[in-house]
Chains A and B, each alone.
Chain A
Amino acid sequence: MDHDIEIPVFVEKAMEKSGIKRDKIRSIVHSDLDHLGDFRASWICVDDQWLYIFSQTQRSGPQPKLKRIRRKRASQKQLVTEIDLRNFTEEVELTAKYELSSLAELKCEYFVGSIAVIAKIGDEEQVLVRGSKGRGAELNTFCRSVSAMLKPKKESKFGFGPGFGGPGFGGPGFGPGRPGHGKEARCPTCGRLYPDPFRRVCPNCIDKGTLFKRVLSLTPRYKKPLIAMIVIMFISSLMGLVTPFMSGRVLIDEVLTPGGRYEGKIGQMVLLTVGISLLSQILRIIYGRINSGVTAEIIYDLKRMIFSAMQRLSLSFYNKRQTGSLMNRVNSDAMDLQFFFHDGLPYFIVNSVQIIGVLVMLLWMNWRLTLLVFIPIPVILLIIYKILPNLWKLHSRRFRTNAALNSVVNDSLTGIRVVKAFGKEDQEIDRFNDRNARVFDVQMSIGRLSSTVFPTMGFIMGLGQLIIWGVGGWDVITGRMSFGTLISFTGYLGMLYQPIRQMTQIVDWWSSCMNSAQRIFEIIDSSEHLTYPEKPVRLKKIKGHVVARDVEFGYEEGIPVLQEINFEVQPGEMIGLVGHSGAGKSTMINLIARLYDVTNGMIAIDGVNIKDIAKEDLNRQIGMVLQETFLFHGSIMDNIAYAKPDASPAEIIRAAKIANAHDFIMKLPDGYETVIGRKGLDLSGGERQRLAIARAVLLDPRILILDEATANIDTETEQLIQAALEKLVEGRTTFAIAHRLSTLRKADRLFVFDKGRIVEVGSHDELLEKKGVYEKLFTTQRKALELTAVGG
């Protein structure tokens, strides 16, 4: 039993009041909409006998001002319940309860804009609570676990060997193990919402120092050059600090002033200055050379690491993200880091050395004056932080409006034929004018703002100068300060504002870089690999006995694609999977090959849960021929031997012969060494398919999977392939999906899929006699074929 389920204090109080024992509670979940659609928190929880619903009951009074929502730190057992108390108060009461024995099932329904938890009570269905989309994952988990509790355990229909009942079988477990169970998606440290509730990373609170160290630690071999770079940067910015001193204090006070320490030594002065600037140029060159080399290499390493990490990820990682945008993200994240090393880091060093150095010099030369100079700085900081960001936003808006304008121009020019053909010139002009006006507006705003801000800033900075001229001048006249010092002073002041301004951007930059780094590490660290047990079960030679029990699967939470799948397949059997497209056939075989892990239930091969079987045993003995054959850039030989790189030439030829591919390969000028994709050589669909079959033959799998292996191929080629497949199928457990039902005549049994379930099982003849789904499918297809045959 889980005695440490987290329950918010005010729910605990309500439980006490209603006489519910807190430690009997087995599971709790929180939702956020009431029956009117208002934001109001409710909790559903279950103990051994009852299901309770608690809700906030007291509307908060009118909000006087922006009342900050209450933030509570999570203590060990206390939940961070970030309920927005602006809507309802902490008052919570038991609002409904149901006897568990009266409930048949709990399920989560996903709408476009909200979610409903629906209970089956007898024959009736009833909405228990509603929630916003963000609550989906947790509500769904809760529904599943409660439903699993309600269902009487079914008797096992099949005998299972070891590994039965592994993790994930029989419904998700209860309790606090699940991340974020019952918690609002909020950072516990700063109270910000997590941007992505499934990521639970607060960009404000990620430990940037540690991240940065980790970025560096990725590349230990760059430690020395990095340190060298920092040292050089440091020295060269120190040298920059010398200039105002030289031109003021030294030149005016000591060289040009009669009685100065270096009176009249102009030549040496010039030489010294030239020497310093020469040295600093040389340093810069050295720096630049090290820098470009090192950053390029760091990024190269980083990208390589990311790519190899990505190869190890399970397919479901990719499903949740669009592959294209994922690649863009990774690329732009890597770019961000590159910028950081290339520009950000040196800027940071230069600027901080400069700011500190200038301040030290100023204070050293005249601390009183320095303090006076600081008077306008708060105003400048205010402008930098409050007003300039608006200007940057306007700039990015101008960029977007311009892009929109360009796309109109682009559209109507590339589509000019369509525009003319439909006589829509005026409409296009309107569209253009509309966008153009927007660009104009933004441009105006930018003009107005920047023509106000920058002069103001200039004036305020000028104020600093004026103070120096006034007060400092007075000091010079009264002899408290030398004229040279005054000149140096103004020189240094000029060096102060620029780095301050840049530093404010660097902070932003730093945050976004570390966020990028975080995302990259997330891929590198992702736990979405399929997990393999430490001591996997070795199956040297799979017999081919395949069992599915209560298999459930969905690519996305809450949208089941397969449900209640149960079957048992004997070694050597050939199974045809049929059904409308989208019925879940491909999904089924993906699960058998363990490209994805089942959400619930299990699949076992030779009595072993496939999650426990060693990866290499599974990969070596399950062969797939898919509808779309992916050929790598390389020779035909390499492509056939992809799964077995050490295959001998004789083996490869034998495989090609079985696949009926040998003849067409031999007709190619370079035979088996023909490089696909070179010199415009491309293979036809049928030829590619036969290479894929050869690949499978070479692998000599114990379980063969054919997913529409003969689709999109003309009848004659199909016969060739069909013949090849028949040779291949023999003696192996085979799962074949075919669009043309006639291709599956040889199957021992057909599994008919409909909307994610197996609705009929039997041989072709049996199923026809049954006059069910299969019969319908078969007759429609025959009619369609007749139709095309007549039509030509």
Chain B
Amino acid sequence: MAAKELSEFSNINYLDPKEAIFSISEGGLLSLQLGATFYRKVDLHQAFPFSLEHKFISVRDEEGEEIGIIKDVADFSAESREAILTELRWRYYAPIITRILDVKDEFGHLYWDVETDHGFRKFVTRARDEGIYPIGGRRLLIVDMTGNRYEIEDYHRLDARSLRFLEPYI
């Protein structure tokens, strides 16, 4: 009996791309048609949000129970893929910083003024490099005091002026 339970735990229940159809409802929420069952609202949780954004995504129902795991978003139909990616964008919302207009180190905090792919923005992070996390390669995740996230895809590709602002903290 114990052995059987172990395998029950260790089996990953992958969603079959043919059977699982994701869509965004009119209200803007992600729904899932899985075979005959319809889930009005499902949540997505990335297992590896920094290195494998589009793989191993846990799909959970409103109660938080896992329905299954998306092995790779690429296996799904174009419509499903679109829906999944849209939902992921909201859930892991992190504008990409394209230009740094100013970073001031004052009173033990960093005051940022940046341009992102979603517009201009000012925010504050905690002192020095707290709040700036390297997430592989030259990618940086910046988390401000309120929990908002921003991303820099490759700091070497920033313009010289931006890089100069950033340099002391990486």
Stretch in A107-115, A481-489, A640-648 with 4+ CB within 8 Å of B: A107-115
- B 118-168 contacts with A by CB, 8 A: 118-124, 126, 128-129, 144-149, 168
Contacts of A193 in B (CB 8 A): 111, 122-124
List the B residue with the shortest CB-CB distance to A516.
B108
Contacts of B148 in A (CB 8 A): 113, 132-134
Does chain A have a CB within 8 A of B2? yes
Does chain B have a CB within 8 A of A86? yes
The 0/1 profile, CB within 8 Å of B marked 1, for residues 227-265 of chain A is 000000000000000000000000000000000000000
User: How far does the Cβ of B140 sit from chain A's closest Cβ, in whole Å?
Assistant: 15
User: How far does the Cβ of A439 sit from chain B's closest Cβ, in whole Å?
Assistant: 14
The 0/1 profile, CB within 8 Å of A marked 1, for residues 12-38 of chain B is 000000000000011111000000000
List the B residue with the shortest CB-CB distance to A85.
B120
Q: Give Cα A114–Cα B144 distance, bound, in whole angstroms.
A: 13
Contacts of B118 in A (CB 8 A): 33, 36-39
- Cross-chain contact B92 with A197 (CB below 8 angstroms): no
Contact status of A134 and B147, CB under 8 A, knowing A39-B118, A114-B91, A511-B107: yes
User: How far does the Cβ of A392 sit from chain B's closest Cβ, in whole Å?
Assistant: 9
- Cross-chain contact B107 with A204 (CB below 8 angstroms): yes
Does chain B have a CB within 8 A of A219? no
- Cross-chain contact A203 with B109 (CB below 8 angstroms): yes
- B 59-116 contacts with A by CB, 8 A: 63-64, 89-95, 101-102, 105-109, 111, 113, 116
Q: Which of B90, B120, B128, B168 contacts A111 (CB 8 A)?
A: B90
Q: Give Cα A787–Cα B5 distance, bound, in whole angstroms.
A: 12
Stretch in A118-126, A380-388, A464-472, A715-723 with 4+ CB within 8 Å of B: A118-126
Contacts of A69 in B (CB 8 A): 122
- Cross-chain contact A118 with B145 (CB below 8 angstroms): no
- Cross-chain contact A393 with B122 (CB below 8 angstroms): no
Q: Which of A112, A126, A203, A787 contacts B2 (CB 8 A)?
A: A787
Contacts of B94 in A (CB 8 A): 113
- Cross-chain contact B28 with A126 (CB below 8 angstroms): yes
Q: Which of B63, B113, B129, B168 contacts A390 (CB 8 A)?
A: B168
Contacts of B92 in A (CB 8 A): 111-113
Does chain B have a CB within 8 A of A192? yes
- Cross-chain contact A37 with B129 (CB below 8 angstroms): no
Contacts of A204 in B (CB 8 A): 106-107
- Cross-chain contact B28 with A127 (CB below 8 angstroms): yes
Stretch in A394-402, A672-680, A699-707 with 4+ CB within 8 Å of B: A394-402
- Cross-chain contact B146 with A133 (CB below 8 angstroms): yes
The 0/1 profile, CB within 8 Å of B marked 1, for residues 503-536 of chain A is 0000000011001000000000000000000000
Q: Give Cα A37–Cα B92 distance, bound, in whole angstroms.
A: 11
Q: Which of A130, A132, A755, A791 contacts B63 (CB 8 A)?
A: A755
Contacts of B145 in A (CB 8 A): 195-197
Q: Which of B25, B102, B113, B116 contacts A124 (CB 8 A)?
A: B25
Q: Give Cα A384–Cα B26 distance, bound, in whole angstroms.
A: 59
- Cross-chain contact B26 with A133 (CB below 8 angstroms): no
List the A residue with the shortest CB-CB distance to B109.
A195
Does chain A have a CB within 8 A of B6? no
Q: Give Cα A63–Cα B2 distance, bound, in whole angstroms.
A: 66
- Cross-chain contact B124 with A194 (CB below 8 angstroms): yes
The 0/1 profile, CB within 8 Å of B marked 1, for residues 36-64 of chain A is 11111000000000000000000000010
Contacts of B120 in A (CB 8 A): 39, 63, 84, 86-87
Q: Which of A86, A112, A515, A791 contacts B119 (CB 8 A)?
A: A86
Does chain B have a CB within 8 A of A622? no
Interface centre among B113, B144, B147 (most CB of A within 10 A): B147
How many residues of A sit at the interface, in one of the four size bands?
35 or more
The 0/1 profile, CB within 8 Å of B marked 1, for residues 175-205 of chain A is 0000000000100000011111100000110
Does chain B have a CB within 8 A of A66? yes
User: How far does the Cβ of B97 sit from chain A's closest Cβ, in whole Å?
Assistant: 13
- Cross-chain contact A113 with B93 (CB below 8 angstroms): yes
Does chain B have a CB within 8 A of A116? yes
Contacts of B90 in A (CB 8 A): 37, 111, 113-114, 116, 130
Q: Which of B41, B64, B168 contacts A394 (CB 8 A)?
A: B168
Contacts of A397 in B (CB 8 A): 168
- Cross-chain contact A197 with B107 (CB below 8 angstroms): no
- Cross-chain contact A39 with B40 (CB below 8 angstroms): no
Q: Give Cα A196–Cα B64 distance, bound, in whole angstroms.
A: 31
List the B residue with the shortest CB-CB distance to A66.
B101
- Cross-chain contact B107 with A203 (CB below 8 angstroms): yes
Q: Which of B25, B105, B146 contacts A197 (CB 8 A)?
A: B146
Contacts of A203 in B (CB 8 A): 106-109
Contact status of A787 and B1, CB under 8 A, knowing A133-B146, A197-B145: yes
User: How far does the Cβ of A215 sit from chain B's closest Cβ, in whole Å?
Assistant: 17
Q: Give Cα A127–Cα B123 distance, bound, in whole angstroms.
A: 25
Q: Give Cα A126–Cα B118 distance, bound, in whole angstroms.
A: 23
Q: Give Cα A125–Cα B124 distance, bound, in whole angstroms.
A: 34
- Cross-chain contact A125 with B93 (CB below 8 angstroms): no
- Cross-chain contact B146 with A37 (CB below 8 angstroms): no
List the A residue with the shortest CB-CB distance to B64.
A755
Contact status of A39 and B122, CB under 8 A, knowing A111-B93, A134-B146, A203-B106: no
Contacts of B168 in A (CB 8 A): 390, 393-394, 397
Contacts of A389 in B (CB 8 A): 105
- Cross-chain contact A113 with B25 (CB below 8 angstroms): no
Contact status of A113 and B146, CB under 8 A, knowing A118-B29, A124-B27, A515-B108: no
- Cross-chain contact B107 with A512 (CB below 8 angstroms): yes
Q: Give Cα A132–Cα B148 distance, bound, in whole angstroms.
A: 6
Contacts of A87 in B (CB 8 A): 119-120
Q: Give Cα A192–Cα B40 distance, bound, in whole angstroms.
A: 43
User: How far does the Cβ of B50 sit from chain A's closest Cβ, in whole Å?
Assistant: 12
Contacts of A390 in B (CB 8 A): 168
Q: Give Cα A194–Cα B109 distance, bound, in whole angstroms.
A: 10
* Contacts A113-B92, A195-B108 supplied; 10 other A-B pairs, CB < 8 Å: A112-B149, A118-B29, A124-B27, A125-B25, A125-B27, A127-B27, A195-B124, A396-B128, A512-B108, A787-B2
The 5 closest A-B pairs by CB, nearest first: A126-B27, A203-B107, A134-B146, A113-B93, A127-B28
Residue contacts A-B, CB under 8 angstroms, 14 given: A36-B118, A40-B119, A86-B120, A111-B90, A114-B90, A124-B25, A126-B29, A130-B90, A133-B146, A136-B146, A196-B145, A400-B129, A755-B63, A787-B2
